[in-house]
């Protein structure tokens, strides 16, 4: 259905582009006065009337995810003061996966004017400058001046527009008459910048739908999403909305309009949802200050329990198998050494969590957002972790040896019982942490979510608690070696056991490959798999010809280096072209006719995107058809230059170009060959095909 809608939209765009245009704004603006005759010392109403053609719309006080509201700047005689605009309740419109609040057809924006008691009797001129944005599939900013006469006399007489004003007042939201209205946080934030707010509205049995239209916030410390998840109960509806905060500042009140739909009838109320006192028990609204002892205790206890439970999560199971083997190997060692190895393992875990805490604090400071396991969003981190886990599996299988402290020989069971070594214990702690972070154990989400809304000290303390929970079982067993009597004695069986333990580790490598590969593109899983084959071959050559050969030579090392270089070149550079993939982005330059002419004279094809911040269609087309990998790569192939022509504020030079190509407004996308006429692309594009075709034509070199 969406595809059919897009096709029809593009067809209509082609029809419109072929017609003659009135390049001015389409909306008709007029200033009306009510009443016709007013008394000094009274309040009168004036209205800005916007009459829009079919298919066009203007915006409410909160435009939503696109657009700008109508503004009025008054020029009034002395003794007359203008109040705030009274906004009728708009429609909530979803288009191109964005929500806006809009008016269609006609709307009257009423403004109260207060007349001073000494305002002279007679005729007074009211004037205003009106700015608005009107959109269809293109958007046009409008600006005009309007004026009207106000007559002041000894009495009040109704005017010809009284009925129109009454109709507009009937579309205003009523004062809040909704009992038991409340709001609460659904959860603690899983990141500093985002959490879910539940608006709970009691409903009558006849009411079949509820909408909340937020006024927004002028402070810009937080934002409320326009998309809503509606849960219908028997006596109340719950509207779940995402609140975003960059600095950890959360609202205590959300104002807006609640709009009921009851059997085709619409009623609306202006209201305020109070937040804070209704927050669920045990949840914290967060903040950098005011960390109570109770909230700190909640965070640390849940963080410790979460870290403890991480030991039995699937992510950490491969490391558990290694630790079991390690305990068997160490069973005959001195108690003091066992304790030291346990502490060393704990230090490896602690060190890793402190690194993670530093990353979270840095991310929170830079972007206002941080989250548990956020390093797993890095393709480089995942790639390194995947290779390390694969090497650990191959080591367990016996392809090669890593001598961590005491050293070992794969072919002898008694060698397996040799010392693990402090470096090995420390590394196991790091590996356990790396594999643990993709998992979220019970209690961990609540504890870390609350911690991330607190001060940096609380974040460090919470990460320390998680580390303590993760390391606790092994540190405890290293201090109580008598509890390990149930484990069998070291022997020949350990060779097979160690090899068997390689399979869970290999499964972990495949699991990491499953979500890392797509980060590298369509062929990411295959080419990273090819890379792992080269890594495996390198491990085999190293073990077979370097470690097991009596006559030592440097040649195996050279062969290993060549294999790794070949694997890198084939898989990452040739197969994935990973450096270009990560670094490529459209390099936009500021548009001017002179800059375009200079680029064309140098033989470059040119792409120009005429756009504006308030243009919904522009954003959709840019995201879907222009700023995409295939177009970026094509621009590089044809040595093209991209320009942004920003029409957010009025620009007569851009307006002339729009008129030249018969566009009433933005978007307008042009592709210029180095010579010849520009190729005009459709205003709405859901994919890059047309752009690629135009660049292909523009990039051809004339014979």
**Digit-coded pLDDT (tens) for 334-354:** 667 777 877 888 898 888 888
Nearest by Cα to 45 from 104, 116, 115: 115
Whose tokens are 């005729």? That residue is 123
Q: Does the pLDDT of residue 690 top 60, yes or no?
A: yes
Q: Does the pLDDT of residue 453 top 60, yes or no?
A: no
Indicate the fold that domain 584-698 takes in CATH.
Glutaredoxin (3.40.30)
- List the 80-82 sheet strands across, edge first: 28-34, 43-51, 106-115, 80-82
Contact 527, 576 (CB under 8 A): yes
Mean local confidence (pLDDT), 112-140 = 91
Q: What is the reported pLDDT for 452?
A: 57
Q: What is the reported pLDDT for 673?
A: 92
Whose tokens are 């403890």? That residue is 308
Measured distance CA(508)–CA(242) in Å, rounded = 34
The CATH number of the structural domain formed by 182-274 is: 2.60.40
Strand pairing category for 588-590 and 641-646: parallel
Contact 631, 605 (CB under 8 A): no
Measured distance CA(246)–CA(367) in Å, rounded = 7
Asked which of 310-314, 428-432, 551-555 is least confident by mean pLDDT, the reply is 310-314
- 281 CB neighbour count, 10 Å cutoff: 4
Q: What is the reported pLDDT for 702?
A: 44
Q: Does the pLDDT of residue 486 top 90, yes or no?
A: no
* Domain chopping of the chain, boundaries: 24-172, 182-274, 293-380+413-498, 584-698
pLDDT tens digits along 319-331: 665 665 565 565 5
- CA 347 vs. chain centroid, Å, equals 35
Mean of all residue pLDDT scores within the chain = 78
Residue 38: band (very low, low, confident or very high) from pLDDT cuts 50, 70, 90: very high
More reliable by pLDDT, 629 or 56: 56
Indicate the fold that domain 24-172 takes in CATH.
Immunoglobulin-like (2.60.40)
- CA 195 vs. chain centroid, Å, equals 13
Q: What is the reported pLDDT for 439?
A: 60
Residue 125: its H or E element: strand 122-135
Q: What is the reported pLDDT for 243?
A: 85
What token pair was written down for 462? 């919470």
Contact 110, 86 (CB under 8 A): yes
Mean local confidence (pLDDT), 50-60 = 93
Contact 430, 467 (CB under 8 A): no
- CA 116 vs. chain centroid, Å, equals 51
* Total residue count of the chain as it appears in this document: 703
Asked which of 106-115, 278-287, 576-585 is least confident by mean pLDDT, the reply is 278-287
Q: Does the pLDDT of residue 513 top 50, yes or no?
A: yes
Residue 584: band (very low, low, confident or very high) from pLDDT cuts 50, 70, 90: low
Contact 392, 404 (CB under 8 A): no
Mean local confidence (pLDDT), 636-661 = 89
| Topology match between the domains 24-172 and 182-274 | yes
Q: Is 264 exposed, middle or buried (0-12, 13-18, 19+ CB in 10 A)?
A: exposed
What token pair was written down for 162? 């009284």
Residue 132: its H or E element: strand 122-135
What token pair was written down for 326? 């390690």
List Cβ neighbours of 161 (8 Å cut-off, separation of 6 or more).
32, 33, 34, 47
């Amino acid at each position: 259905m969406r595809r059919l809608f897009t096709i029809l939209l593009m067809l209509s765009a082609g029809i419109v582009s072929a017609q003659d245009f009135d390049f001015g704004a389409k909306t008709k603006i007029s200033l009306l006065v009510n009443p016709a005759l007013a008394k000094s010392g009274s309040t009168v109403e004036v209205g800005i009337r916007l009459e829009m053609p079919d298919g066009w719309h203007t915006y409410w006080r909160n435009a939503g995810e696109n657009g700008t509201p109508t503004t009025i700047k008054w020029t009034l005689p002395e003794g007359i003061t203008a109040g705030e605009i009274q906004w009728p309740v708009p429609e909530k419109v979803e288009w191109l996966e964005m929500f806006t609040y809009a008016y269609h057809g006609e709307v009257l924006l009423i403004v109260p004017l207060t007349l001073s008691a000494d305002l002279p009797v007679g005729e007074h001129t009211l004037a205003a400058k009106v700015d608005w944005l009107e959109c269809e599939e293109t958007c046009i900013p409008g600006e005009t001046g309007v004026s009207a006469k106000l007559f002041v006399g000894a009495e009040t007489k109704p005017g010809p527009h009284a009925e129109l004003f009454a109709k507009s007042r009937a579309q205003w939201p009523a004062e809040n008459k909704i009992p038991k209205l409340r709001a609460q946080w659904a959860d603690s934030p899983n990141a500093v910048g985002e959490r879910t707010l539940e608006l709970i509205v009691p409903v009558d049995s006849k009411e079949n739908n509820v909408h909340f239209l937020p006024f927004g916030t002028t402070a810009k410390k937080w934002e409320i999403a326009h998309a809503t998840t509606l849960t219908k109960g028997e006596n109340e509806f719950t509207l779940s909305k995402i609140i975003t905060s960059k600095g950890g500042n959360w609202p205590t009140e959300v104002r807006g309009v609640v709009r009921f739909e009851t059997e085709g009838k619409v009623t609306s109320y202006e209201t305020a949802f109070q937040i804070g006192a209704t927050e669920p028990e045990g949840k914290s609204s967060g903040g950098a200050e005011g960390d109570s002892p109770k909230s700190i205790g909640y965070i640390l206890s849940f963080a410790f329990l979460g870290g403890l439970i991480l030991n039995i999560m699937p992510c950490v199971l491969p490391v558990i198998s290694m630790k079991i083997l390690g305990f068997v190997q160490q069973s005959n060692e001195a108690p003091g050494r066992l304790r030291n190895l346990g502490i060393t393992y704990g230090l490896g875990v602690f060190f890793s969590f402190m690194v993670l805490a530093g990353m979270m604090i840095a991310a929170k400071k830079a972007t206002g957002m941080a989250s548990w396991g956020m390093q797993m969003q890095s393709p480089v981190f995942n790639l390194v972790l995947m290779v390390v886990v694969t090497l650990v599996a191959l080591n367990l299988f016996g392809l090669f040896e890593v001598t961590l402290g005491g050293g070992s020989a794969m072919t002898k069971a008694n060698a397996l019982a040799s010392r693990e070594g402090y470096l090995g214990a420390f590394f196991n702690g790091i590996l356990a942490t790396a594999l643990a972070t993709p998992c979220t154990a019970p209690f961990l989400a609540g504890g870390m979510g609350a911690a991330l809304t607190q001060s940096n000290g609380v974040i460090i303390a919470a990460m320390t608690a998680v580390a303590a929970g993760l390391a606790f079982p092994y540190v405890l067993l290293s201090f109580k070696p008598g509890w390990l009597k149930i484990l069998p004695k070291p022997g020949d069986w350990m060779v097979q056991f160690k090899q068997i333990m390689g399979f869970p580790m290999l499964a972990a490598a495949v699991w990491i490959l499953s979500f890392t590969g797509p980060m590298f593109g369509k062929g990411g899983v295959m080419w990273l798999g090819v890379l792992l084959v080269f890594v495996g071959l390198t491990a085999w050559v190293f073990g077979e010809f370097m470690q097991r050969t009596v006559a030592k030579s440097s040649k195996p090392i050279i062969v290993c280096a060549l294999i790794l270089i070949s694997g890198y070149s084939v898989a990452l550079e040739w197969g994935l072209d990973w450096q270009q993939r990560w670094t490529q982005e459209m390099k936009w330059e500021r548009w001017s006719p002179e800059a375009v002419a200079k680029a064309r004279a140098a033989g470059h094809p040119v792409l120009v995107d005429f756009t504006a911040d308030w243009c919904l269609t522009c954003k959709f087309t840019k995201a879907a058809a222009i700023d995409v990998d295939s177009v970026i790569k094509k621009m590089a192939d044809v040595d093209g230059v991209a320009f942004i022509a920003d029409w957010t504020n009025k620009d007569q030079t851009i307006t002339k170009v729009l008129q030249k190509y018969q566009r009433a407004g933005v978007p307008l996308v042009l592709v210029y060959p180095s010579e010849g006429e520009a190729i005009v692309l459709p205003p709405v594009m859901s994919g890059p095909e047309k752009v690629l075709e135009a660049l292909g034509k523009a990039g051809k070199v004339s014979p």
